[in-house]
Amino acid sequence: MNIWDKLGVKPADILLPANCDTEKWSCIACDQFTSDKEYWDEMDRFVGDAPSTLRITFPEIYLGRDDESYIAGINSRMRQYLSGNVFREYKNAVIKCERTLRSGKVRTGLVMAVDLEQYDYSQGSRSLIRATEGTILHRLPPRIAIRRNAPLELPHIMILIDDADNTVIGSIKNTGSPVYDTKLAMNGGSIKGWLLSSEQQDMLARSLEHLCDRKAFIRRYSLEPDAALLMYAMGDGNHSLACAKACWEQLKPSLSDEELITHPARYALAEIVNLYDPSLEFEPIHRIIFDTDAEKLAQYLDCGDGDAQEITMLTQSGEKTIHVRKTCELAVGSLQNALDIFLEQNGGRIDYVHEESTVRRLAAQSGNAGFILPEFRKEQLFPSVSKNGALPRKTFSMGEGRDKRYYFEARRISVDK
């Protein structure tokens, strides 16, 4: 057995932009700035007619505006880019990437393929790769519609490893010249990437194998003796990976035994990052409710001082603390449960916002209400998911909006017949 087969990750054939403006090529993850049309209008003007991942991904702010036509355009441009000398392919590659954030801090990760056969996003999963938050199934169809007929994938997926001693990524030193070195669009910082040599890939496999120790994992977090090893925890892009998984499951019945092992759609490109990377800061994801009766909403949510959890609520009238009935160990879960019921019964629209300043600005407008959520410490992630399963959806974000992962690398996921 190849050592990679049991590790859940492996090198990939990675496509990088060639013969184009790499700053214009880069684009932030599709689920960012979903209530900020100005951001996306400015990005559109900046890119113009240049090749860009903006043109081959689907920003969620555009969902619901003739999705079928938009998706057809994405798939068409993917094929144009593949035939138009836009890419250079690096076979059997692992890329060490260093993302310089706007703060000046550097986040380091490894771009490689993850095995969808070892990923399960269902509640109660015991797979090697696991979702860390509840997967919202109704968010998958537009993504599935794109991927089903797409020749390419572009990841904004970030997966975390629990490596407090930094034995995996920290042992890999940069050698030679980077294969990319560019600013990122829209004040997103910059990024550099280096190819790992075959010797470095071998060292990486051995260090991951050492980290893949179920008994040590159980001792570290005082888990039950039969607990399953959580080797990789989703950080960002859970719904994108869930989409890849769903498409793979749909494809499998049509494949031969050999194709089940070798087909590129069995894998998804992702960036592996150490949970303890010093630049990695967990931020709460706040809520903003649009088109609502803020006073009625406050009365519905505030149950008094009994078995309740405190949440900061913002409206046009100002800021106050409300006490939401405890239905989940985490306050974010109790709030989300209550908001889901209220919105179903009364209408309105919810959005998930990373920047507190944005929540305060939007909540000050008539018909809106905002909620500021408490922090979730990153050290809680692996033990919490291992003991209790996936967290309530949209519990945490890794950094602010403009520090999220950008689309840059790509990979073929179809086979030419």
Return per-residue pLDDT of the chain as tens, 417 residues.
688 999 999 999 999 999 899 999 999 999 999 989 999 999 999 999 999 999 999 999 999 888 999 999 999 999 999 999 999 999 999 999 999 999 999 999 999 999 999 999 888 899 999 999 877 777 788 889 989 999 999 989 999 999 999 999 999 999 999 999 999 999 999 999 999 999 999 999 999 999 999 999 999 999 999 999 999 999 998 889 999 999 999 999 999 999 999 999 999 999 999 999 999 988 899 999 999 999 999 999 998 777 899 999 999 999 999 999 998 878 898 999 999 999 999 999 999 988 899 999 999 999 999 999 998 889 989 998 998 888 887 888 887 888 999 999 999 999 874
Closest CA to 240 of 124, 142, 150, 111: 142
Q: What is the pTM of this model?
A: 0.86
Distance CA 28, CA 83 (A): 24
How many Å apart are CA 381 and CA 51, to the nearest integer?
A: 38
Residue 142: the pLDDT is 82
Per the CB < 8 A criterion, the answer to whether 170 and 286 are in contact is: no
Closest to 262 in 3D by CA, of 89, 5, 87, 79: 5
Q: State both tokens at 126.
A: 């015991």
For residue 235, the one-letter residue type is G
Residues 6+ apart with CB under 8 A from 329: 388
Radius of gyration of the chain (CA): 22
Burial of 97-110, coded b for 16+ CB within 10 Å and e otherwise, reads bbbbbeeebbbbbb
Stated as kind and residue range, the H or E segment containing 286 is strand 286-290
**194 Cβ neighbours under 8 A, 6+ residues apart:** 95, 96, 97, 174, 175, 176, 178, 179
CA distances from 129 to 126, 162, 217, 298, 411 (A): 8, 12, 14, 39, 20
pLDDT of residue 156: 93
Kindly state the tokens that stand for 394. Answer: 């949209």
- How far are the Cα atoms of 55, 62, 117 from residue 68, in angstroms, in the given order? 15, 12, 29
The predicted pLDDT at position 1 comes to 65
pLDDT at 183: 98
Residues 6+ apart with CB under 8 A from 132: 233, 234, 235, 238, 381, 385, 390, 391, 395
Q: What is the pLDDT of residue 139?
A: 74
Within 149-255, strands assigned E span 152-153, 158-161, 180-183, 190-195, 232-236
* Dihedral over alpha carbons 4, 126, 161, 159 (to 10 degrees): 90
Q: For residues 56 and 113, give the distance between their C-alpha atoms in angstroms, rounded to a whole number.
A: 20
Alpha carbon distances (Å) from 97 to 15, 157, 233: 14, 14, 19
Residue 15 · residue 88 · CB < 8 Å: yes
